[in-house]
Copies of this chain bind each other. A is one copy, B any other.
Amino acid sequence: MVYRKTPATEARKDARRKKLLESAVRMFGRHGYHAATVPMIVAEAGSSVGSFYLHFRNKEEIFAAVLEDLGEKISVLFDEIEAEEPNRLLCVERGLESLFLFLAQTPELARILLVESSGLSTRLEKVRRSILQYHVEQIRMNILEMPEVFAVADPRIAAQCLVGAVYEALCCWLEEIPEQRLPVLEVARAVSDYNMRALRAQ
C-alpha cells in the first residue's frame, strides 16, 4: 500500500518548521549565533532536538534560513516601493526610509543581520552579503536608469556607501538605550537626507 502524504501532515510539518524559525530568530537575535544552542532553540519552540534535524540539516542551515527569510522580506519591501513610485530619486529615498523603519521595528532581526551574521562561516557570510548586495544592486540600477538626476562618479560605490551609511546609523540607534533615542522617523529622515545630498545632482 502506497503511503500518501496527507495535506494535513504537510501543513503540520510546515507549522513546526515555522515555529522553529521564529524561535531561532529570537534566540539568535538575543544571544548571537554561537551562544544560541540547538537545545535552546527547540525548547523555546516546544519541539525536540531530533525534530530539529528533521527540518534543518544543521545549525548553520537554520541560521541561513532565518537570514534568507529576512532577505526575502526586505526585497518585498523594495519591490513594492519600486512598483508604486515612478520617480527613481524618491524611490531610493523611500526605500531607505522604509528599510530603516522596518529593521527598527524588529530589533531581533536587525541584530541578526547587522551584528550576529558577521564573522561566521563562508557560507553564512555569503548569505549575509547577498542581502546587502541586493540593496546595493537595487540602488545602482536606479542610479544608472536616470543619470541626469543622480550625480555620482561610480554608481556601485555610491550604492555601497548608501547601504553602509544606513546600516551603521541603524546600528548606533539600536545600541542606544531606548529612553535616550531620538524618534526613529527623525533619524531615518536625517540618514536619508545625508545620502540624498550625496546622490543628487545640484
Contacts and interface: CB of A to CB of B under 8 A. Distances in A.
A28 to B, nearest CB: 9
A68 interface: no
A147 interface: no
Interface stretch (A17-25, A77-85, A189-197): A189-197
Interface residues of A, number: 43
Copies of this chain, tallied across the complex: 4
B115 A158 contact: no
B33 A194 contact: no
Interface string A131-155: 0100010000000000000011110
Given A116-B119, A136-B172, 14 more contacts: A34-B119, A116-B118, A153-B193, A158-B194, A161-B165, A161-B168, A161-B169, A161-B194, A164-B164, A164-B165, A164-B166, A164-B169, A164-B171, A195-B198
A187 interface: yes
A5 to B, nearest CB: 11
Contacts of A37: none
A132 B120 CA distance: 21
A122 to B, nearest CB: 10
Interface of A: 3, 32-34, 48, 115-120, 125, 129, 132, 136, 151-154, 157-158, 160-169, 171-172, 175, 187, 190-191, 193-195, 197-198, 202
Contact of A157 (B152, B190, B202): B190
A125 B172 CA distance: 12
